[in-house]
Amino acid sequence: MWFRQTGTGVDDVLVSANGVTTRLWRNGALDTKDFPLDHVSEHLAEDGALVWADLCGPDHEQLQKLAEELGLDVHAVEDAVSFGERPKATRHANHTFVMTYAARLEQAEDSTAELFQSRLQLTRISAFVLPRGLVTVRSDDGFEMGAVIERWEENADLLALGPGALLHGLLDVVVDGHFEAVQQLDDAIEDLEGALFDGDIPTRETQQLTFRMRKELVQLRRVVLPMREVVNTIMRHRSELGHEGNAMDGWFADLYDHVLRAAEWTESLRDMVTTIFETTLSLQDARLNTIMKKLTAWAAIIAVPTAVTGWFGQNIPYPGFQEPLGLWLATGTISILALGLYLLFRRLDWI
């Protein structure tokens, strides 16, 4: 459904009310925005036009109608709405299909019940790169296209180069989101490292936090690592992204470098989390050994009066039997042996 917006000073401005956003540029300059989705194919046929259409959570009928109008590949349309698909870039007859995931790390409350729940939220973004336009399909509104539009406006001179500039701006914002998620995980891991040898933090909570971070990193790696192949494929088919696609080589090369850095960063964080987990187990063993040494030392000290009183408690005559001397001998023996063992264990740092 579309409705007309008034009081803007611009005639015939249409605003989407069903999760659809559209824009039209002519020769790199913004011409029209929020026009009906039915006009996309008409604008795509115009010389010097650059069209963008965004669908957020579209139903199957709406997407199928657009696919038939633009001649989109049926398999690419299925991938755009399927769950569990990995990031990829595929070249079809009249368009290039790109699918990726935007990642964000939400802040969870400090409760034991949520320590096992992943904070990483993913939004599937599919892009159909046409000769004169870009059609994006988002699974939900978790990824805001406002940041992408701002990126396009910051580099408005690139829009004259064709749909490759639109695709670059989209992927650039997505990769920046990956960097932000990795940075947040890196900060959380550093905090965990600093508290690793702090006896005030419960070991159980530390293990739960480590487990959650490992889970989040595994999920993040599944969307970050394939981006190397995605950008590499786009660079191989750069001439198909517009009549001046080669002019975007430097921009996509810089994007590929960012993707590599994000992938390497996630790999290093995975090693760090594994090290923290193993260190936690080692510290548990060390604490257990310390406790066992203390228990052994005190058990040895307590065994001294038990042995001495057992000896002097015999019902047979012995030096000092039934005399005050026997009491003093027993007391002195206990004191000397117990004090000697205590000093010995203190010197060995057992107690």
Check residue 321 and give its pLDDT.
Answer: 65
Residues of the chain with pLDDT under 70: 1-18, 108-116, 197-203, 238-246, 311-318, 320-321
Where b means 16+ CB within 10 Å and e means fewer, 138-176 reads bbeebbebebbbebbeeeeebbbbbbbbbbbbbbbbbbe
Q: Looking at the structure, do residues 260 and 235 belong to the same domain, yes or no?
A: yes
Check residue 17 and give its pLDDT.
Answer: 42
Burial class (CB in 10 A: 0-12, 13-18, 19+), 315: exposed
Check residue 320 and give its pLDDT.
Answer: 64
Q: 296-327, pLDDT tens digit by residue?
A: 888 888 887 877 777 666 666 667 667 777 77
Of 260, 285, 310, which one is at a domain's C-terminal end? Answer: 285
Q: Looking at the structure, do residues 192 and 324 belong to the same domain, yes or no?
A: no
Check residue 8 and give its pLDDT.
Answer: 34
Q: Looking at the structure, do residues 23 and 170 belong to the same domain, yes or no?
A: yes
Q: Looking at the structure, do residues 9 and 66 belong to the same domain, yes or no?
A: yes
Tell me which residue range forms the domain holding 341.
288-347
Q: Looking at the structure, do residues 98 and 220 belong to the same domain, yes or no?
A: yes
Q: Looking at the structure, do residues 127 and 193 belong to the same domain, yes or no?
A: yes
Q: Looking at the structure, do residues 280 and 295 belong to the same domain, yes or no?
A: no
User: In the 3-class helix/strand/coil scheme, how is 53-89 assigned residue by residue?
Assistant: EEEECCCHHHHHHHHHHHCCCHHHHHHHHCCCCCCEE
Determine contact, residues 151/131, Cβ cutoff 8 Å: no
Q: Looking at the structure, do residues 281 and 293 belong to the same domain, yes or no?
A: no
Spatial strand order in the sheet of 133-138: 29-33, 20-26, 49-56, 133-138, 120-130, 96-105, 88-91
DSSP 107-141: PPPS-GGGTTS--EEEEEEEEEEETTEEEEEESST
Beta pairing class for 20-26 and 96-105:
unpaired
Q: Looking at the structure, do residues 91 and 103 belong to the same domain, yes or no?
A: yes
Q: Looking at the structure, do residues 127 and 143 belong to the same domain, yes or no?
A: yes
Of 270, 285, 300, which one is at a domain's C-terminal end? Answer: 285
Of 241, 261, 285, which one is at a domain's C-terminal end? Answer: 285
Check residue 114 and give its pLDDT.
Answer: 59
Q: 127-186, pLDDT tens digit by residue?
A: 999 989 999 999 988 898 999 999 999 988 888 888 989 999 999 999 999 999 999 998
Q: Looking at the structure, do residues 272 and 293 belong to the same domain, yes or no?
A: no
CATH of the domain at 256: 3.30.460.20
CA 26/CA 47 separation, integer angstroms: 9
**What's the domain count of the chain?**
2
Q: Looking at the structure, do residues 91 and 224 belong to the same domain, yes or no?
A: yes
